[in-house]
Amino acid sequence: MRRWLALLVAATTSLVLVALIVPLALLVRAVAENGAVTRATQEAESVAIAAGTDTLPLAVERTAAAGGHAVTVFLPDGRTIGTPAARSAAVELASRGRSVSAVAPGGREILVAVQDPAGTTVVRVFLSEADLTAGVREAWLALLLLGVALIALGVLVADRLALALTRPMATMAGVSLRLAGGDLTARTTPEGPPEVRSVGLALNHLAGRISELLAEEREAAADLSHRLRTPLTGLRLDAESLRDPEEAARIGARADALERAVTAVISQARQRTGERQSCDAAAVVAERAAFWSVLAEDQEREMRLEVAPGPLPVAVGAAELGACVDALLGNVFAHTPDGSAFSVRLTPGVRLEVADQGPGFPAGALARGHSGAGSTGLGLDIARRTAESCGGSLTISTGPGAKVTLILSPALTIS
């Protein structure tokens, strides 16, 4: 923006200066030419005073020496005094008693006619092109330097004014990027023109409002998760009251797993925004696959597990990645018939594939809250958001069966 404003001011100033300096330069040339003609006319008249006297040759010599111009006197009898010169048409016209100024080769000749008893004496003063333009180039150079100086001054002033606009705008752009990156403490210092300051104040207000809304959302999620502890406690008590010890232990383990998930939701809801976590994807996927393998065995499902040797660090927390794997495997068990085979494959890269031999995905399966099987429709959305939170992606394919491909961004270290 600074460059464009500088170019705009430079172009505008240049047009104004051209419109002003060109006529002024022509005027300077005209004034210089008129001044030279006036001085030459005075010199010719001073010589004309001595016409018809014996002092005429001396007057011609002194005038030529003083003015530096070629002075020629054409006498009525055809003789000339001073600098030799041809009798031009203008001289012939002046010999009839008329003083004239005419253009001659290489300059201009000033002719003054003097009437005396012997006839008409013509005094000729020749002005060269250098005499007619004396001082014009210097004046033009001064005007050019003045124009350049004015353009430079205009560009400098425009740059300072543009800086007063671009600096706070650049600051606000940086603040907005920090907010987009999760730094909700980012604020700008309103400065610059009133309109720009208003934008800065609005941005600060927006950042504050975003922080308030996120805090309310986190607290609401934490409160909702905390309310689940009461039915979990009742479920654990019911499990303990079962007569079959193995059944009680199994249901109690499920209740413990559910409680850990609720605790993870509460921790995640209260986690400070923008704090990046990482984990070993190989360890998390293997652990969650082992958890679901028990249910697969109960339902007589063939489970093929292929996990690349770790560590495979990814820019996602262990709890988030675990919830993602649980969501994908939970979909397999919820939407495929008992006995349907499935596979879990984790390759370096980091690429996680979960495939099954079920009926496949319905239309719009990736839409949040949409499900063609009577569920909440949040499983795939949870997996997608987990992938996108670290810069990855999720794709699905159908036929035969269904396959979910999750690509995660690797992390430098594991926290």
Is residue 394 situated within a structural domain?
yes
Q: Is 108 helix (H, G, I), strand (E, B) or coil?
A: strand
Specify whether 36 is located in the same domain as 152.
no
Specify whether 126 is located in the same domain as 166.
no
Is residue 242 situated within a structural domain?
no
Is residue 264 situated within a structural domain?
no
Q: What is the pLDDT of residue 244?
A: 78
Q: Please report, for the domain that includes residue 18, its CATH number.
A: 3.30.450.20
Q: Is 264 helix (H, G, I), strand (E, B) or coil?
A: helix
H-helix or E-strand containing 355?
A: strand 351-356
Of 226, 259, 285, at which residue does a domain stop? 226
Give pLDDT tens digits for 26-68.
Answer: 999 999 999 999 999 999 999 988 887 888 889 999 998 998 8
Of 77, 104, 134, at which residue does a domain stop? 134
Specify whether 42 is located in the same domain as 125.
yes
Specify whether 46 is located in the same domain as 91.
yes
Distances (CA, A) of 211 to 201, 203, 205, 217, 222: 15, 12, 10, 10, 16
Q: Which domain holds residue 384?
A: 276-407
Is residue 253 situated within a structural domain?
no
pTM higher than 0.85? no
Reply yes or no on whether the pLDDT at 379 is more than 50: yes
Specify whether 12 is located in the same domain as 128.
yes
Quote the strand ranges of 142-203, DSSP E: none
Q: Tokens 């006036």 identify what position?
A: 38
Is residue 352 situated within a structural domain?
yes
109: pLDDT confidence band, cut at 50, 70 and 90? very high
Is residue 296 situated within a structural domain?
yes
Beta bridge mates, 303: 342
Is residue 333 situated within a structural domain?
yes
Specify whether 183 is located in the same domain as 298.
no
Specify whether 146 is located in the same domain as 171.
yes
Give pLDDT tens digits for 143-191.
Answer: 999 989 998 898 888 888 888 888 888 888 998 888 887 787 888 888 8
Give per-residue burial for 192-204: e unless 16+ CB within 10 Å, then b: beeebeebbeebb
Give pLDDT tens digits for 346-362.
Answer: 998 888 999 988 877 76
Specify whether 8 is located in the same domain as 126.
yes
Q: Is 115 helix (H, G, I), strand (E, B) or coil?
A: strand
Q: What is the pLDDT of residue 226?
A: 57
Specify whether 318 is located in the same domain as 306.
yes
Give per-residue burial for 212-247: e unless 16+ CB within 10 Å, then b: eeeeeebeeebeebeeeeeeeeebbeebeeeeeeee
Specify whether 127 is located in the same domain as 7.
yes
Q: Please report, for the domain that includes residue 289, its CATH number.
A: 3.30.565.10
Reply yes or no on whether the pLDDT at 377 is more than 60: no
Q: What is the pLDDT of residue 31?
A: 94
- Tally of domains within the chain: 3
Choice between 230 and 388, residue whose per-residue pLDDT is larger:
388
Report the range of poorest mean pLDDT among 169-183, 313-327, 361-375: 361-375
Q: Residue 125 corresponds to which tokens in the numbers above?
A: 């003063």
Is residue 231 situated within a structural domain?
no
Helices (H), 189-317: 194-227, 229-240, 245-270, 281-298
DSSP 361: P
Of 107, 134, 161, at which residue does a domain stop? 134
Specify whether 205 is located in the same domain as 313.
no
